[in-house]
Structure 1
Amino acid sequence: MTDAVELTEAEAEAQVIAKQNDQFRKTWGADFTIPGKIVVTQSVACLSAGAQVQIMRAVQAFDTFTEDNDPYGDHSFGAFEIECAGETVKLFWKIDLYDRAYKYGSEAPADTSETRRVLTILQRHEY
Protein backbone atom coordinates (compact mmCIF):
# COMPACT_ATOMS: atom_id res chain seq x y z
CA MET A 1 0.00 0.00 0.00
CA THR A 2 2.92 2.35 0.64
CA ASP A 3 4.08 1.89 -2.96
CA ALA A 4 0.66 3.02 -4.24
CA VAL A 5 0.87 6.20 -2.12
CA GLU A 6 4.43 6.89 -3.31
CA LEU A 7 3.40 6.35 -6.92
CA THR A 8 0.51 8.76 -6.48
CA GLU A 9 2.86 11.35 -4.95
CA ALA A 10 5.33 10.83 -7.82
CA GLU A 11 2.56 11.25 -10.37
CA ALA A 12 1.32 14.40 -8.64
CA GLU A 13 4.85 15.84 -8.60
CA ALA A 14 5.30 14.94 -12.29
CA GLN A 15 2.10 16.83 -13.11
CA VAL A 16 3.35 19.93 -11.25
CA ILE A 17 6.71 19.73 -13.03
CA ALA A 18 4.98 19.20 -16.40
CA LYS A 19 2.92 22.34 -15.88
CA GLN A 20 6.05 24.33 -14.94
CA ASN A 21 8.03 22.89 -17.87
CA ASP A 22 5.21 23.75 -20.27
CA GLN A 23 5.00 27.31 -18.93
CA PHE A 24 8.76 27.79 -19.19
CA ARG A 25 8.88 26.34 -22.71
CA LYS A 26 5.78 28.10 -24.05
CA THR A 27 6.89 31.52 -22.76
CA TRP A 28 10.44 30.90 -23.98
CA GLY A 29 11.71 31.60 -20.47
CA ALA A 30 9.98 34.99 -20.22
CA ASP A 31 7.90 33.95 -17.18
CA PHE A 32 10.34 34.83 -14.40
CA THR A 33 8.32 32.87 -11.83
CA ILE A 34 9.89 29.78 -13.42
CA PRO A 35 13.60 30.63 -13.62
CA GLY A 36 15.92 29.10 -16.15
CA LYS A 37 17.99 29.39 -19.30
CA ILE A 38 17.56 28.44 -22.92
CA VAL A 39 20.62 27.14 -24.72
CA VAL A 40 21.27 25.82 -28.19
CA THR A 41 24.13 23.75 -29.48
CA GLN A 42 26.60 25.22 -31.96
CA SER A 43 25.02 23.34 -34.88
CA VAL A 44 21.62 24.85 -34.02
CA ALA A 45 23.12 28.32 -33.55
CA CYS A 46 24.66 28.09 -37.04
CA LEU A 47 21.26 27.69 -38.72
CA SER A 48 19.67 30.68 -40.45
CA ALA A 49 17.62 33.33 -38.65
CA GLY A 50 14.51 31.94 -40.33
CA ALA A 51 15.31 28.48 -39.01
CA GLN A 52 15.80 29.94 -35.52
CA VAL A 53 12.28 31.40 -35.66
CA GLN A 54 10.85 28.08 -36.83
CA ILE A 55 12.63 26.29 -33.99
CA MET A 56 11.37 28.70 -31.34
CA ARG A 57 7.79 28.40 -32.61
CA ALA A 58 7.99 24.60 -32.85
CA VAL A 59 9.33 24.25 -29.30
CA GLN A 60 6.72 26.64 -27.90
CA ALA A 61 3.86 24.89 -29.70
CA PHE A 62 4.98 21.31 -29.03
CA ASP A 63 2.18 19.24 -27.50
CA THR A 64 2.74 15.73 -28.86
CA PHE A 65 3.53 14.01 -25.59
CA THR A 66 3.23 10.23 -25.63
CA GLU A 67 4.22 7.33 -23.42
CA ASP A 68 7.30 6.88 -25.62
CA ASN A 69 8.65 10.45 -25.44
CA ASP A 70 7.27 11.36 -22.00
CA PRO A 71 7.45 8.20 -19.85
CA TYR A 72 7.56 10.16 -16.57
CA GLY A 73 4.77 12.57 -17.51
CA ASP A 74 6.90 15.65 -16.80
CA HIS A 75 7.00 17.13 -20.33
CA SER A 76 10.80 17.36 -20.36
CA PHE A 77 11.53 16.19 -23.91
CA GLY A 78 10.33 16.61 -27.48
CA ALA A 79 11.38 15.72 -31.02
CA PHE A 80 10.46 17.79 -34.06
CA GLU A 81 11.53 18.77 -37.56
CA ILE A 82 11.83 22.02 -39.49
CA GLU A 83 12.56 22.84 -43.11
CA CYS A 84 15.72 24.86 -43.72
CA ALA A 85 17.16 25.67 -47.16
CA GLY A 86 15.09 22.87 -48.73
CA GLU A 87 16.27 20.24 -46.25
CA THR A 88 14.60 18.65 -43.26
CA VAL A 89 16.43 19.36 -40.01
CA LYS A 90 15.64 16.92 -37.18
CA LEU A 91 15.85 18.36 -33.68
CA PHE A 92 15.28 17.56 -30.02
CA TRP A 93 14.54 19.83 -27.11
CA LYS A 94 14.97 18.78 -23.49
CA ILE A 95 14.55 20.39 -20.10
CA ASP A 96 16.88 19.53 -17.23
CA LEU A 97 16.24 20.62 -13.64
CA TYR A 98 19.15 21.99 -11.64
CA ASP A 99 19.78 23.52 -8.23
CA ARG A 100 19.90 27.32 -7.92
CA ALA A 101 23.61 27.40 -8.83
CA TYR A 102 23.11 25.25 -11.97
CA LYS A 103 25.67 22.84 -10.55
CA TYR A 104 23.71 19.75 -9.47
CA GLY A 105 20.33 18.23 -10.12
CA SER A 106 17.54 19.83 -8.13
CA GLU A 107 16.68 18.14 -4.85
CA ALA A 108 13.20 19.72 -4.98
CA PRO A 109 12.29 19.71 -8.68
CA ALA A 110 8.70 20.93 -8.19
CA ASP A 111 9.83 23.91 -6.06
CA THR A 112 10.49 26.85 -8.38
CA SER A 113 12.35 28.73 -5.64
CA GLU A 114 14.93 25.93 -5.51
CA THR A 115 14.96 24.74 -9.13
CA ARG A 116 16.42 26.22 -12.29
CA ARG A 117 15.50 24.90 -15.72
CA VAL A 118 17.81 24.53 -18.69
CA LEU A 119 16.00 24.07 -21.99
CA THR A 120 18.49 22.72 -24.53
CA ILE A 121 17.82 22.56 -28.25
CA LEU A 122 20.02 20.28 -30.33
CA GLN A 123 20.09 18.45 -33.61
CA ARG A 124 19.24 14.77 -33.30
CA HIS A 125 22.69 13.63 -34.39
CA GLU A 126 24.15 15.45 -31.35
CA TYR A 127 22.21 13.47 -28.77
Structure 2
Amino acid sequence: MAEFKTDRIRELNDRARQSFTSCRVVITRGIAELGDDAVNQILAQVRSYDRFTPDNDPYQEHDFGSFRWGEVQVFWRWDYYDLEYSMHSPDPADETVTARVLTVMLAEEY
Protein backbone atom coordinates (compact mmCIF):
# COMPACT_ATOMS: atom_id res chain seq x y z
CA MET A 1 0.00 0.00 0.00
CA ALA A 2 2.79 2.45 0.87
CA GLU A 3 4.45 1.89 -2.51
CA PHE A 4 1.18 2.71 -4.27
CA LYS A 5 0.91 5.96 -2.30
CA THR A 6 4.49 6.90 -3.16
CA ASP A 7 3.89 6.17 -6.84
CA ARG A 8 0.68 8.23 -6.77
CA ILE A 9 2.30 11.19 -4.97
CA ARG A 10 5.16 11.15 -7.47
CA GLU A 11 2.72 11.03 -10.40
CA LEU A 12 0.66 13.93 -9.04
CA ASN A 13 3.77 15.98 -8.22
CA ASP A 14 5.31 15.45 -11.65
CA ARG A 15 2.11 16.21 -13.52
CA ALA A 16 1.47 19.40 -11.54
CA ARG A 17 5.10 20.56 -11.74
CA GLN A 18 5.41 19.95 -15.47
CA SER A 19 2.14 21.70 -16.32
CA PHE A 20 1.57 24.08 -13.38
CA THR A 21 -2.00 22.81 -13.22
CA SER A 22 -3.87 21.40 -10.21
CA CYS A 23 -1.59 23.40 -7.94
CA ARG A 24 -0.56 26.85 -6.82
CA VAL A 25 2.86 28.10 -7.86
CA VAL A 26 4.55 30.57 -5.53
CA ILE A 27 7.79 32.39 -6.21
CA THR A 28 9.67 34.11 -3.44
CA ARG A 29 10.76 37.73 -3.40
CA GLY A 30 14.33 36.71 -4.26
CA ILE A 31 13.19 34.93 -7.42
CA ALA A 32 10.84 37.79 -8.40
CA GLU A 33 13.62 40.36 -7.98
CA LEU A 34 15.67 38.58 -10.66
CA GLY A 35 13.25 39.98 -13.26
CA ASP A 36 10.61 38.61 -15.61
CA ASP A 37 13.01 36.95 -18.05
CA ALA A 38 14.83 35.18 -15.22
CA VAL A 39 11.55 34.08 -13.64
CA ASN A 40 10.37 32.62 -16.95
CA GLN A 41 13.66 30.76 -17.46
CA ILE A 42 13.71 29.45 -13.89
CA LEU A 43 10.10 28.25 -14.10
CA ALA A 44 10.93 26.48 -17.38
CA GLN A 45 13.79 24.69 -15.59
CA VAL A 46 11.45 23.69 -12.76
CA ARG A 47 8.98 22.25 -15.29
CA SER A 48 11.65 20.21 -17.06
CA TYR A 49 13.57 19.14 -13.95
CA ASP A 50 14.44 15.43 -14.08
CA ARG A 51 17.61 15.04 -12.01
CA PHE A 52 16.11 12.98 -9.19
CA THR A 53 18.54 10.73 -7.35
CA PRO A 54 18.47 8.73 -4.11
CA ASP A 55 20.43 11.61 -2.51
CA ASN A 56 18.00 14.40 -3.42
CA ASP A 57 14.80 12.31 -3.57
CA PRO A 58 15.11 9.66 -0.83
CA TYR A 59 11.35 9.03 -0.63
CA GLN A 60 10.94 8.97 -4.44
CA GLU A 61 8.09 11.49 -4.35
CA HIS A 62 9.74 14.09 -6.62
CA ASP A 63 8.92 16.72 -4.01
CA PHE A 64 12.14 18.79 -4.10
CA GLY A 65 14.66 19.97 -6.66
CA SER A 66 17.76 22.12 -6.81
CA PHE A 67 19.66 23.65 -9.71
CA ARG A 68 21.89 26.57 -10.58
CA TRP A 69 20.59 29.45 -12.65
CA GLY A 70 23.50 31.69 -13.49
CA GLU A 71 25.18 32.60 -10.23
CA VAL A 72 22.29 31.61 -7.96
CA GLN A 73 21.18 28.31 -6.49
CA VAL A 74 17.45 27.68 -6.91
CA PHE A 75 15.32 25.33 -4.83
CA TRP A 76 11.76 24.22 -5.48
CA ARG A 77 9.59 22.14 -3.17
CA TRP A 78 6.08 20.82 -2.73
CA ASP A 79 3.87 21.36 0.29
CA TYR A 80 0.56 19.57 0.74
CA TYR A 81 -2.43 21.28 2.37
CA ASP A 82 -6.04 20.46 2.96
CA LEU A 83 -8.40 22.09 0.46
CA GLU A 84 -8.88 25.14 2.70
CA TYR A 85 -5.11 25.68 3.02
CA SER A 86 -5.49 25.66 6.79
CA MET A 87 -3.52 22.52 7.71
CA HIS A 88 -1.46 19.69 6.28
CA SER A 89 -3.23 17.40 3.80
CA PRO A 90 -4.67 14.25 5.33
CA ASP A 91 -3.42 12.26 2.30
CA PRO A 92 -1.08 13.77 -0.34
CA ALA A 93 -1.80 10.76 -2.59
CA ASP A 94 -5.47 11.79 -2.82
CA GLU A 95 -5.97 14.83 -5.03
CA THR A 96 -9.57 15.19 -3.85
CA VAL A 97 -8.36 16.21 -0.37
CA THR A 98 -5.02 17.83 -1.23
CA ALA A 99 -4.07 21.29 -2.41
CA ARG A 100 -0.52 21.26 -3.78
CA VAL A 101 1.68 24.34 -3.43
CA LEU A 102 4.92 24.53 -5.39
CA THR A 103 7.34 27.09 -3.97
CA VAL A 104 10.31 28.27 -6.05
CA MET A 105 12.99 30.08 -4.06
CA LEU A 106 16.62 31.05 -3.86
CA ALA A 107 18.55 28.56 -1.74
CA GLU A 108 19.40 31.36 0.70
CA GLU A 109 15.68 31.89 1.31
CA TYR A 110 15.08 28.31 2.44
TM-score past 0.5 threshold: yes
| Partner residue, 2:94 | 111
State the structure with bigger RCO (CA 8 A, min sep 6), 1 or 2: 2
For 1:44, the equivalent position in structure 2 comes to: 31
Aligned length: 110
8 Å CA contact 1:36, 1:118 repeated in 2: yes
| Runs of 5+ consecutive residues of structure 2 not aligned to the other structure | none
4+ long deviations beyond 4 Å? none
Q: Which amino acid aligns with 1:77?
A: F
1:15 is paired with a residue of what secondary structure? Answer: helix
Q: Deviations over 1:1-33 (max 9, x none)?
A: xxxxxxxx222211111010000000022xxxx
Query: TM (normalized to structure 1)?
Result: 0.83
What is the alpha-carbon distance in structure 2 between the residues aligned to residue 122 and residue 100 of structure 1? 23
Query: Are the equivalent residues in 2 in contact too, given 1:65–1:78 (CA < 8 A)?
Result: yes
Aligned partner of 1:27 among 5, 10, 19: 19
**Is 2:74 the partner of 1:91?**
yes
8 Å Cα contact 1:11-1:73 kept in structure 2: no
TM-score between the two structures when normalised by the length of structure 2 = 0.95
Q: Is the 8 A contact 1:38 1:118 kept in 2?
A: yes
After TM superposition, give the deviation of residue 96 of structure 1 in Å.
0.8
- Residue 54 of structure 2 corresponds to residue 54 of structure 1: no
Offset at residue 36 of structure 1 (A) = 2.0
Task: Give the share of equivalent positions with the same residue, in percent.
Answer: 40
Alignment correspondent of 1:122 = 105
Q: Which runs of 5+ in 1 are unaligned?
A: 1-8, 30-34
Distance 1:58 1:108 in 2: 28
Greater Rg by CA: 1
Give the Cα separation in 1 of the matches to 2:105 and 2:2: 29
After superposition, the CA RMSD in angstroms is 0.9
